[in-house]
Structures are given as structure tokens and as C-alpha cells.
Amino acid sequence: MLLTREKSQLLIVDVQDKLLDAMSGKGRLVQRCVRLVQAAKTLDIPITVSEQYPQGLGPTVESIRWALGNSASTLSKVEFSCARNEALRNRLDELRRQGRQQVVIGGIESHVCVMQTAIDLENSGFDAFVVADAVSSRSKTSKRLALSRLAKAGADIVDSEMVLFEWLGRAGTPEFKELQALIK
């Protein structure tokens, strides 16, 4: 199944100051999450951000917060799966009721919060799309195992370029020209 902008929502999971330092490939992870946020904003795709225990782990990293501006709903949690947090689940369900059953997911950690969220969403009738170049774990092995397990659980494993081109659908539009710089 292809992603469409009309059926999509973006979920950025726990890309927070105190968690980020331990991540493998943290610079690329943040860059790809920013890319997804900028594309979603340009294409009017709703964005939700989760923060795991922000009192202890800090807020979402500054570059992502800057890219978001006022374009996202940021909700805190202590559950590993966003789908097991009532406020986050209500937000995702409300967007699904609006026809947005495709959840594009970036964030950390691949093998904990991202994986549990995506599996719970798949089991609840959402279509989860985990963006491989926009997720990370402390170890590359944990990320690799998580992506393998997610694929077996029915989640689609994609990369950020796939997401952007599927959301765009065609070249030659004003949105394509605006987002082209994100791809170069």
C-alpha cells in the first residue's frame, strides 16, 4: 500500500535531549525527523509528538521543536507505547476518524517505544509505516532487530524519501518544488 497525504498522520516518538546523546547516528536521525516534519507541515499532514517522561528526559530536541513551530500536538507519556497512553491514543484515534489511518513513525528507541507503538497500532487497525532512516537505538543491532520484528508484525518499513515522494504523488507542483530541497 502506498502512503497518501490525505490518509497520513506523522508521529515523532521521544526524540528528547537526554535520550538523544546515546543514540547511534543521532545527527542523521534528527535530520530525517526534521525532514518529515517539514514535509508534513507543507502538505498539511497532522503531526503528533510524544515525550517520554519530559520532567526527567527533557523536551523534544530543539531542531525538531523549531521545525514544528506551532504545528504539532506534543503529549507526554510514561508508557513505552504511545498507543497505551490515553491522551496520545485519543489524538491518533481522532485523526483516524478523519480518515488518517496511516501513521508514519520516526523517533527513538527503535526497539522499545517505536516498536511497541507500531505493533500496538497495527493490532488496532492502523497502518504503521516506520521510517528506517528516522529511527534509532543505542545499538545498531537493536535497531536492526526491531525493524525485522516490525516487518514480521505487519508494519511497513520505509525511508524518508519514500514517504516524501509518496505524499507528493507527482512532480511539477508547488509542493514538489518546495520539498525538492529536502531531498537533495
Contact 2, 71 (CB under 8 A): no
Q: Pick the catalytic residue: 18, 21, 33, 77? A: 77
What confidence score (pLDDT) does residue 59 get?
95
Counts for the chain of helices (H) and strands (E), in that order: 9, 6
172 Cα distance to chain centroid:
26
Three-state DSSP state, 120: helix
Q: Pick the catalytic residue: 14, 127, 133, 156? A: 14
113 in active site: yes
What confidence score (pLDDT) does residue 71 get?
80
**Residue pLDDT tens, the chain, 184 long:** 899 999 999 999 999 989 998 999 999 999 999 999 999 999 999 999 999 999 999 999 999 999 999 888 999 999 999 999 999 999 999 999 999 999 999 999 999 999 999 999 999 999 999 999 999 999 999 999 999 999 999 999 999 999 999 999 999 999 998 888 888 7
Backbone angles phi, psi at 37, to 5 degrees: -65, -45
Quote the CA–CA distance of 122 and 69 in Å, as a whole number: 29
Nearest to 49 by CA among 38, 37, 58, 41: 37
Quote the CA–CA distance of 115 and 103 in Å, as a whole number: 13
Contact 101, 129 (CB under 8 A): no
Contact 49, 12 (CB under 8 A): yes
33 in active site: no
Q: Pick the catalytic residue: 33, 82, 113, 127? A: 113
Stated as kind and residue range, the H or E segment containing 177 is helix 174-183
120 in active site: no
What confidence score (pLDDT) does residue 91 get?
98
What confidence score (pLDDT) does residue 182 get?
84
Which pTM value belongs to this model? 0.97
Nearest to 113 by CA among 19, 181, 177: 19
